[in-house]
Structure 1
Amino acid sequence: MRVYLPATIGTLRRLVEDGRFAPLGGTGFALTPALRESYTSGDTEELEYAALLDAARASLRLIAAEQDDGGDEKNPPRRVVISADVEQATPRPDLDAAVVRISGPVELAQIAAVHVDTAEAEAAVVAAAAVIDAADLGDDDAEFALGEAEDHELAWYAPQELPFLLELL
């Protein structure tokens, strides 16, 4: 099953160093039966993209936590989503339609692609990360800030490109 795992630039650095990573709480996003039922139309590609966008929003939470810890200059605030193929993913419709739980770490060999914000998105990502909780509680201004970040498309990278991407940051 293809899963979309929220991450950060720091996560990517650890992935390249260790050859694997464990998503926080084993949480990922995927095209689940509940997600398919929640849409009146859309093909598989469109619904997988919706799951990827959910993971990108979850990445904002990870960035917010890093910012609360003071941030790290070598890890710019950019949304990161790791697309991986895993054998076992358990749907968690109690959390949301696309949420899944995976057990154990994800190996570099399981990664199909990595999606990362470009430098132009950083200011919008920082603003969105600062208000992610308020947006969840219905704050219209916070939701607007999230929309500003989500207007930026994530760039696509093959797993073998990660060392070069991280070197250029």
Structure 2
Amino acid sequence: MRVYLPSTLPALARVVAAGELGPAPLTGYAVTPALVEWYASGDTEELEYVALTEAARASLRMLAADRADGTTDGTAGDDRRVVVAVEVPDETVKMGADLAERARVRVHEPIAVSRIAAVHVDDSDAVADVAAAVAALPAADAGDDDARFVVDGAEDHELMWYATQEIPDLLS
């Protein structure tokens, strides 16, 4: 099963150094039966894009958490959403019953780096909009429509696709 795991550039560097994504359980996003039922007119590619987009939203929250705990201050260009696409055995994935997050899944085993299929990352052109979205998250969560507009603006940027052999160059 293809699962999209939210990440950040510093977290991706730690994954590469450790040789695995973990510890388990890991929250990810995938084409689940609930997603297929909700988006009945979508083909597999469209459904995978929905799951990827959900993971990118979660990556935005990870960036906010990194900034809040001092892992990053956003000045090194780290304000880019990262989604790691992995292939995992179906039996390691548990699908949730939360209809608000139809694509959300939990992976119950660490994932070896060899299972990474690709990495999706914001282009450097998105850094300013992603940084603004990270800063606006608290107000957006509190119901501020203007802040929600700023957060949604990060989604105007398509994530770039990187093959696994490009990960070292991406991190350098």
Q: Same fold (TM over 0.5)?
A: yes
Query: In structure 1, what is the Cα distance between the partners aligned to 2:139 and 2:32?
Result: 27
Unmatched 5+ residue regions in structure 1? none
The amino acid across from 1:132 in the alignment is: L
Q: Distance in 2 between matches of 1:86 and 1:98?
A: 16
What is the Cα-based RMSD across aligned positions, in Å? 1.8
Deviation at 1:18, TM superposition (A): 1.5
In 2, Cα distance between the equivalents of 1:32 and 1:56? 17
Residue of structure 2 equivalent to 1:152: 157
Equivalent-residue separation in structure 2 for 1:53 and 1:23 (angstroms):
23
1:122 maps to what in 2? 127
Contact 1:5 1:23 in 2 (8 A): no
Kept in 2: contact 1:6–1:23 (CA 8 A): no
Can you give the 5+ residue segments of structure 2 that lack an aligned partner in the other structure?
none
State the distance in 2 between where 1:45 and 1:136 align.
Answer: 30
Q: 1-side partners of 2:169 and 2:59: how far apart?
A: 21
Scaled by the length of structure 2, the TM-score of the pair is 0.89
What's the counterpart of residue 33 of structure 1? 33
CA contact (8 A) 1:60 1:129 kept: yes
Counterpart residue number, 2:169:
164
Q: Identify if the C-alpha distance between structure 1 residues 79 and 23 changes in structure 2 by more than 3 Å, giving closer, same or farther.
A: farther
Counterpart of 1:104 in 2: which secondary structure? coil
1:3-22 superposed Cα distances (whole Å, 9 cap, x missing partner):
00000001111122121121
Distance, in Å, in 2 between the alignment partners of 1:144 and 1:25 is: 32
Counterpart of 1:48, as a letter, is E
* Residue of structure 1 equivalent to 2:101: 96
Structure 1 Cα separation of the partners of residues 135 and 102 of structure 2: 25
Shift of 1:50: 0.3
Distance 1:147 1:67, change over 3 A: same
TM-score (norm 1): 0.91
Per-residue deviation at 1:150?
A: 0.6
2:62 corresponds in structure 1 to 62
Q: Give the superposition deviation at 1:36.
A: 0.8
Q: Deviations over 1:10-68 (max 9, x none)?
A: 11111221211217851000000001111141101100100000000000110001111
Aligned length: 167
Structure 1 range deviating more: 69-78 or 111-120: 69-78
Q: Which amino acid aligns with 1:86?
A: V
Query: In the alignment, residue 94 of structure 2 is paired with which amino acid?
Result: T
Partner of 1:6: 6
